[in-house]
Amino acid sequence: MNRRWRIGLTSIFIALVVAPLLLAGFVAPYPYAEQHREYPYAPPAAVRFVKARPFVEVGGRWCEVRLLPGNGRLFGVAAPCVIFLSGTDGNGRDVFSRLLYGGRISLMTGLLSAFLSLALGLAAGVVAGYFGGWPDWLLMRGGELVMALPWLYLLLATRALLPLHISAVEAFVWPAAIIGAVGWVRPARLIRGVVLSGKERGFVLAARGFGAGHAYLIRRHLLPLTGSVVVTQATVLIPLYMLAEMSLSFLGLGVEEPMPSWGNMLTEASHYHALILHRWLLAPGVAAIPVLLGFLLLADILLDGRHD
Amino acid sequence: MLFLRYFGAVVLVVLTPVSGASGDALVLSGVTGERGGTLVFGQRNEPKTFNPVIAADAASRELILRVMADLIHINRATQLTEPALAKSWTVSHDGLHYVLSLRRGVRFSDGQPFTADDVVFSFQVYLDEKVRSPQRDLLLLEGKPISVRKLDSYRVAVDLPRPYAVAERLFDGLAILPRHILEPVYREGKLAQAWNLSSLPTEVVGLGPFRFKQFLAGQRVVLERNPYYWKVDQAGIQLPYLSEVDLEFAGSEDTQVLRFQDGQSDVISRMSARNFAALEKDRVRRGYALSDVGPGLEYSFLFFNLNELPEGASPEVVARQRLFRRASFRRAVSVAIDREALVRLVYLGRAAALSTPVPLGDKAWVNAKLPHIVRSLPQAHQALAAAGFSRAPDGALLDPEGKPVEFSIITSAGNTERLQMATLIQDDLKQLGMNVHVVPLEFGSLVNRVFQTHDYEACLMSLIDSDADPNPDMAVWLSSAGNHLWHPEQKTPATPWEGDIDRLMREQMVTRNRNERKRIFDRVQEILMENLPLIPLLSPDILVGAKNGLGNFRPAMMDHYVLWNIEELYWRAEAR
Amino acid sequence: MKYLGWRLLHGVGLLALLSLLSFMLSQVASGDFYSQLRNDPRISPETVAALRAQAGIDRPFPIRYAAWIVAVSRGDFGYSLAYHRPVAPLLEERIGATLILTGAATLTTWLIAVPLGIWSAARRGKWGDRVSTVAVSLVLAVPDLVLAIALLVLSVQTGWLPAGGKISRGYAQMGSIQQLRDVAWHMVLPVTVLVAGSTPVLIRHTRASILEVMEAPFAMSARAQGIPRRRLLYRHLLPAALNPLISLLGLSLGSLLSASLLVEIVTGWPGLGPLFLEAVMARDFAVVLAVVMLSAAFLFIGNLVADLLLYRFDPRIRTVD
């Protein structure tokens, strides 16, 4: 397959996967917090097509699904009927709707914190590897300290200093900032290794011999060498961080109820009873697969592009 | 009269002492079974110690009561007191002086005899201020300790500093210690370090049905039959029937439930309603039975921060607290909460809604005349409108000063049920126009905020009473007590009604006529429901399970739910 | 040798700094070991205060820290308030279980991931590579916690694997070979979860760095000279691609004590994980601190090994300063 085609197809794939998340307010049939208390743990609705018109079953009754029902949503069913494409949770909230809204939040958290980690890691790794000596010592030993710190304990401690209720924006920025700030050490160590090796390569030494400045050397010769590691780290960090906020909600620092995130949805799904009786709660795990696949394909293209 | 009532009940339940080979053995009439076999009990957490003097965590207490015994015991099935190591007792007319006659010929698990010296030593240790036993507070009545004297080798006198309505119940769970083992350690001042899990099995000596055999860190404690145990069944067979009990630690409730389903553990206690439903599916194929014992002694409630705020508190918090202090505001919140939905959605129907802050398992003490709370938004609106609240055009509720009503509820992040209740209440209150935030906090931080820093607005919490009686909750209702959740440790009652409750609670504590006590406690509940310092929500059911073939399995709704009669449990032949 | 000495000295200094930081954290953390007793109506605030004074945790922070340093220099890591026991034997009982688990998982991860990464790089763009990409995204999408519980449920439903724990009931009566087999059998599930968590990262890094060197001039010329593919991959490309892998090896050696925390808790494995989490929740500070110090020591050693290997194996890094 030729490269242009691959880029095109991958972009379309990612757009198709991400668009419903970004347009959650339109695509989801219900607001994320709406509780249908008569339908706790409703299983995913059965869908049937009669003369090419879709129907869903609710409590033995079949209702027609209509496109653009006029409430500003993409699709829906008329009032007494309800549509739960992926079932409901214990509060009777539509899992499909929450999946879309939650995906948007988790995606943003993942991207933001991965970006933060990589930016910090890149800066630290390049400085440590290129300059060596005390900056290297300071950054690497500091990194070890960061990795060795009992983060659970640290967060317990700092939580007491924050106000009890944090606003919706803060609730989104906090987890990303914490995860990102903790996670810079791994990429930094990897990048440092590459830079250490790269700065002794012939063309770098030659450029240095011609009197090239530090900034120039780093920008033109060393940064490109780190590309492969950075891209690969990004592809593994984004999925990791998308769900990392799971453990933060335990400390009251995660996304606040009733707002969904894939992390807190999966926490609910990862219990014995859910796996036995309510498997549809695992939907976010399934939905994450195409999103992550998109990132991996994108990474492949980026890596290839560097050699063409 | 009251004493006679209790004593009468005791005589009926118990069982004439017969002198057998093991002396004054306690004969359990009506109890039969077969000896042998091992019972595996799946526990969530690892116990920390065998030492009853210092143990404060539930897992350790669960373990300790298998290897230790008390003087007077509360029968978990009848909830009445019955003789244990004390085979009978008398009480003076003023209710201040008890004489306990001890069982003769009883031996500790190492074969040494048990006498009044052991009892006197045990109380000396529990009451010693230097030892700092958490049990000590139970033996203080209004700050004064009870005193225990030896009369002769088999009789002790117990003197109370002031009358106490149900003094016999104080002895339940108070483990009698072997003086011959622990006195040297106690003299050295090293009692707290004694009897940890790395101790030698021969060092840990008690009067309970089992004794310590082996400990595997992070995995299990193995207990074996105490060959000197002092109870026999109807046929004179020495108890316990089981030869071994394994307490296995699962680490989490999910693993605990999985292991029970897998047949790796035989008994499971206090699981969540959801796990109960999930286990139901595999019940027949796997050969276990599940039972719902009904609402227990746990009760959940919502309360607002009514503490005196420190000087530097932010004006915003002060303004919010002005709302919380209004009883009309708390009443509107209470009537807006859909308790039936909490029961149905959070506990799948396996809980009961409360209309008084007394757990439903405490049936005899619930004030049944209090009206059942039915959710009514119009009533809530009315109460708020009468108190000067209004609605903004966008539906938000405005307080009498015209500010939107907004507050946060903290709750324990580790407890999924309470977290879900908070999100349902959040939605209920949204319909009144209140903007409520749910903040899950790790339990230690939550407790610290409620009791130490008072830095919170509202809190959703549960308490589990240790006995079906009003007295265990003295520390909750007395305004000067440390557990007076909404405003602990007051110097003088902050409100007239808290003063009234203080007076009534102290009165019921010394009243020996049960009907009179009940009347007083009913009045306390009326005052509580008028003022709603705690907004009662529900009492969850006690849900347990056991493998088929386990004989004499009679789960109770009080603590030690499934193991309380462990000496009577046995495997039927077909289950071995 | 001098370098090694320096690094070890730094390690000790860092441990001291880490302990100081941890003490300061414990100072601002909300609540201490005894505050949770406040929630028990049977225990009065006076008793709680007295217990606190008895344990010495109400003393000012510099005094507590100095006392701790003095004790540690004598090999005493403190006293667990929950277990009423010294911390050292408490950790000793459990550290072996953790190391067996993470050791096996790390070994398996490397044995699977490196060949797979090379294979996938060698057939870049072909079907095999595509399938491995999809599989990697599949594994990455499932968090460890969900995977662990799902596998537990599956093994109970099918009876294929034991439902958590480390040994069977009849362990004491088994012969030594049977005992070994029993433990291995119980390890399958937690090791699978750990391997699933770390393999994708390693596969991707191996693949990326092999691809990188494949494009290098020396590889091009070697291919032009007709050196066999397999020999080219393992003899020439792999050594050249080692750099990021060595850093990763250091990190995975460093996390031997901490990697399995969550998995141990979920599967009831009797290692440091459940002990540490419970100690954090209960604010049993001496236990927390000892575990933190120990995992930090592992981390330093892991990174040190990685740095030494980097200098040894990457021909381009010449000097050890």
What are the pLDDT digits (tens) for A281-308?
Answer: 999 988 888 888 888 888 878 777 654 4
Q: Secondary structure of chain B: what % helix, strand, coil (to 5)? A: 35, 25, 45
Instruction: Give me the percent of chain A exceeding a pLDDT of 90.
Output: 30
Question: A251 in contact with B at a CB cutoff of 8 Å?
Answer: yes
Smallest CA–CA distance from A298 into chain C, residue = C133
Could you tell me which chain C residue has the CA closest to the CA of A133?
A: C321
Q: What is the pLDDT of residues B116-127, one digit of tens each?
A: 999 999 999 999
The C-alpha atoms of residue B114 and residue B176 are separated, in whole angstroms, by: 9
| Domain ranges (residues) in chain B | 2-287+548-575, 298-540
Assigned CATH topology for domain B298-540: Dipeptide-binding Protein; domain 3 (3.10.105)
What is the average pLDDT across C118-126?
Answer: 84
Helix (H) or strand (E) holding B550: strand B550-551
Asked if B216 has any chain C CB less than 8 Å from its own CB, the reply is: yes
Segment among B47-56, B79-88, B488-497, C48-57 with least mean pLDDT? C48-57
* Chain segment A75-115, per-residue pLDDT in tens: 988 888 899 999 999 999 999 999 999 999 889 889 999 99
pLDDT at B356 over 90: yes
Can you name the residues that pair with B246 across neighbouring β-strands? B40, B222
pLDDT score of C321 more than 50: no
Element (H, E) at A159: helix A151-159
- Beta-bridged to residue B547, according to DSSP, are B288
**B341-351 residue pLDDT tens:** 999 999 999 99
| Strand, helix or coil for residue C204 | helix
CA distance C237 to C219: 7
B408–chain A Cβ distance below 8 A for any pair: yes
Distance from the B446 Cα atom to the nearest Cα atom in chain C, whole angstroms? 9
**Vertex B95, ends B94 and B99: CA angle to 5°?**
120
CB-CB contact of C129 with C120 (8 Å): yes
Nearest to B483 among C41, C166, C169 (CB): C41
pLDDT at B26 over 60: yes
* Highest mean pLDDT, choosing among A254-258, B67-71, B556-560: B67-71
Instruction: Determine whether the interchain pair A289/C138 forms a contact, defined as Cβ–Cβ distance below 8 Å.
Output: yes
ipTM field = 0.89
Q: 3-state SS string over B349-408? A: CCEEECCCCCCCCCHHHCCCCCCCCCCCHHHHHHHHHHCCCEECCCCCEECCCCCECEEE
Helices C285-313 and A185-198, axial angle in degrees (round to 10): 20
Q: Is B213 on the interface with C (CB under 8 A)?
A: no
Judging contacts by C-beta atoms under 8 Å, the chain B residues touching residue A277 are 274, 277-278, 281
CA angle (C118, C122, C125) in 5-degree steps: 120
- Note whether B129 contacts C: Cβ–Cβ < 8 A: yes
Q: What is the pLDDT of residue C216?
A: 76
Class of domain B2-287+548-575: alpha beta
The partner residue sitting opposite A252, judged by closest CB among B278, B413, B416, is B413
C-alpha to C-alpha distance for B23 and B46, rounded to whole angstroms: 36
Q: What is the 3-state secondary structure (H, E, C) of C251-288?
A: HHHHCCCCCCHHHHHHHCCCCHHHHHHHHHHHCCHHHH
- Kindly list the distances between the CA atom of residue A91 and the CA atoms of A35, A213, A263, B266, B345, in Å, as whole numbers in the listed order: 6, 62, 17, 33, 6
Give residue-wise pLDDT tens across range C66-102. 999 999 888 888 899 999 999 999 999 999 999 999 9
User: What pLDDT, on a 0 to 100 scale, did the predictor assign at position B8?
Assistant: 37
From C41, C268, C281, residue closest to B251, measured CB to CB: C268
- pLDDT score at B183: 96
> If you count residue pairs, one on A and one on B, with CB atoms under 8 Å apart, how many are there?
88
Q: Give the pLDDT confidence of A143-177 residue by residue, as tens digits.
A: 988 888 887 777 777 777 777 777 777 777 877 88
Using a CB-CB cut-off of 8 Å, the residues of chain B touching C162 are: 262, 264
For chain A, say whether B516 makes contact (Cβ under 8 Å).
no
Interface chains of chain C (3 or more CB pairs under 8 Å) = A, B
The pLDDT of residue A306 is: 55
The pLDDT of residue B9: 37
Instruction: Give the per-residue pLDDT at B6.
Output: 39
At B172 the pLDDT is 92
Percentage helix, strand, coil, to 5, in chain A?
Answer: 65, 5, 30
At position B421, the amino acid (one-letter code) is M
Please, which chains are in contact with A (at least 3 CB pairs closer than 8 A)?
B, C
Domain C92-281 is of which CATH architecture? Orthogonal Bundle (1.10)
C280/A159 touch (CB, cutoff 8 Å), yes or no: no
**pLDDT tens, residue by residue, A206-255:** 888 888 888 888 888 888 888 888 988 888 888 888 877 777 776 667 78
Q: How far apart are CA B249 and CA C61, in angstroms?
A: 35
* CA-closest candidate to residue A225, choices A257, A256, A193, A250: A193
A-chain CB neighbours of B422 within 8 Å are 257
